[in-house]
């Protein structure tokens, strides 16, 4: 039986490959999965992460115009909110999936929800892809290539460990050894009712 982390790996690799066909932060998203499928949300999640990865690259250009940097910063803020909303949606999927499980009397809660572990796996998939690209550069010195190969090895190890931890966590939920809750992130800076700059309160800078 395919483990959930293996499904993540397949979908993330597909999304990364699809994104890099254009390598354009403005490319339109063409999700190949049905919207009621968890794979749809995994693909959506990694695509958002891939776009944001490259927005973060663009905003660090030494010669970027301040006005362009502000536009990119606003896009990154919006992307972060979309990413958080999607993580919460994925957690609701798992909450619903395990709602009929009888929780054991000594069950414990985990420090991290499944979707936040999936978030980390998505970012790791992007790190591995881009670090591998660095190991294949023909314009880079041997020292750079060797350093990137070492980092790539560590990233792959992290991915293996995190995948095993995620699968174990889901198995714990399935057998009632752990239980989960979904907490909204309560981000305040994007909320016009909670950010004093947005609702008009004067602040000292």
Residue 94 lies in a domain: yes
Residue 200 lies in a domain: no
CA 105/CA 170 separation, integer angstroms: 18
The arithmetic mean of pLDDT across residues 114-125, rounded, is: 97
Range of 18's domain?
4-190
Long-range CB pairs of 17-22 (<8 Å, 24+ gap) are 18/47, 19/47, 19/50, 19/51, 20/50, 20/129
Q: Which of 99-103, 161-165, 172-176, 190-194 has the lowest mean pLDDT?
A: 190-194
Residue 33 lies in a domain: yes
Residue 198 lies in a domain: no
Residue 205 lies in a domain: no
Residue 168 lies in a domain: yes
Residue 196 lies in a domain: no
Q: Which of 38-47, 133-142, 190-199 has the lowest mean pLDDT?
A: 190-199
Number of domains in the chain: 1
pLDDT tens across 52-96, in order?
999 999 999 999 999 999 999 999 999 999 999 999 999 999 999
Q: Which candidate, 177, 25, 159, 50, places its Cα nearest to that of 110?
A: 177
> What count of other Cβ atoms lies within 10 Å of the Cβ of residue 35?
8
């Amino acid at each position: 039986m395919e483990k959930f982390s293996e499904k993540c790996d397949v979908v993330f690799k597909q999304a990364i490959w699809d994104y890099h066909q254009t390598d354009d932060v403005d490319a339109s998203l063409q999700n190949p999965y049905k919207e009621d499928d968890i794979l749809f949300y995994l693909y959506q999640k990694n695509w958002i992460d891939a776009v944001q990865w490259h927005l973060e690259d663009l905003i660090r250009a030494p010669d970027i115009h301040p006005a362009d940097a502000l536009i990119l910063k606003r896009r990154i803020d919006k992307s972060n909110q979309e990413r958080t909303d999607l993580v919460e949606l994925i957690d609701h999927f798992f909450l619903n999936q395990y709602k009929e499980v009888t929780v054991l009397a000594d069950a414990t809660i985990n420090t991290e929800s499944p979707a936040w572990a999936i978030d980390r796996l998505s970012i790791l998939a992007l790190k591995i892809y881009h670090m591998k690209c660095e190991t294949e550069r023909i314009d880079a010195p041997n020292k750079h290539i060797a350093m990137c190969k070492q980092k790539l090895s560590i990233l792959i190890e992290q991915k293996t460990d995190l995948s095993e931890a995620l699968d174990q966590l889901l198995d714990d939920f399935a057998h009632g050894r752990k239980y989960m809750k979904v907490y909204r992130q309560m981000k305040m800076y994007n909320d016009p009712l909670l950010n004093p700059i947005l609702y008009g309160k004067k602040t000292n800078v």
